[in-house]
């Protein structure tokens, strides 16, 4: 993945926060789980996969207080290549997410649609600026 693609994904963090300001006193990037999911979808299943993914990402952000971002994207040059920026408050929030009905539905119903899946764990580089990103969404 190129540097520009990675930068774009990291900057999209703010989009999935619904405009809520983050309190920097409660913000601890060291505890956060930050992950990029790289998923290749079988082209014949792409439309169905996207529909299920949108439902899952929306439910995760709306219903789970520890889910900061489940932000799905697709490559412009190859729409069957999906990338998801996942940010969880901490390990407990991530583990709780894996047990939710909406995640389990997503995982079981899309399994046959996925050609490959790669999970890339990340570290935040600028934890001082990160909470400010969310303030710009209205």
Query: DSSP alpha helices (H): ranges in the chain?
Result: 3-11, 46-63, 91-98, 101-110, 130-133
pLDDT at 15: 38
> Distance (Å, rounded) from C-alpha 68 to C-alpha 90?
10
Which pair of structure tokens corresponds to residue 78? 């190859």
pLDDT at 11: 47
Q: Which domains does the chain have, with CATH numbers?
A: 27-126 (3.30.70.100)
> Distance (Å, rounded) from C-alpha 94 to C-alpha 80?
26
Q: Cα 81–84–87 angle (5° rounding)?
A: 165
pLDDT at 8: 45
pLDDT at 87: 93
pLDDT at 27: 60
pLDDT along the chain (138 residues), means of 10: 49 41 56 95 98 98 94 97 96 97 97 98 85 68
């Amino acid at each position: 993945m190129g540097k520009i693609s990675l930068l774009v994904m990291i900057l999209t963090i703010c989009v999935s926060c619904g405009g809520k300001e983050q309190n920097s006193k409660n913000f601890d990037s060291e505890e956060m789980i930050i992950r990029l999911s790289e998923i290749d979808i079988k082209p014949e299943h792409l439309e169905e996969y996207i529909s299920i993914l949108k439902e899952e990402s929306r439910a995760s952000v709306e219903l789970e207080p520890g889910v900061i971002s489940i932000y799905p994207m697709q490559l412009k040059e190859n729409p069957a290549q999906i990338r998801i920026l996942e940010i969880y408050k901490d390990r407990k929030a991530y583990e709780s997410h894996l047990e939710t009905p909406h995640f389990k539905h997503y995982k079981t119903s899309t399994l046959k649609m996925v050609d490959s899946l790669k999970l890339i764990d990340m570290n935040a580089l600028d934890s001082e600026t990160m909470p400010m990103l969310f303030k710009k969404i209205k």
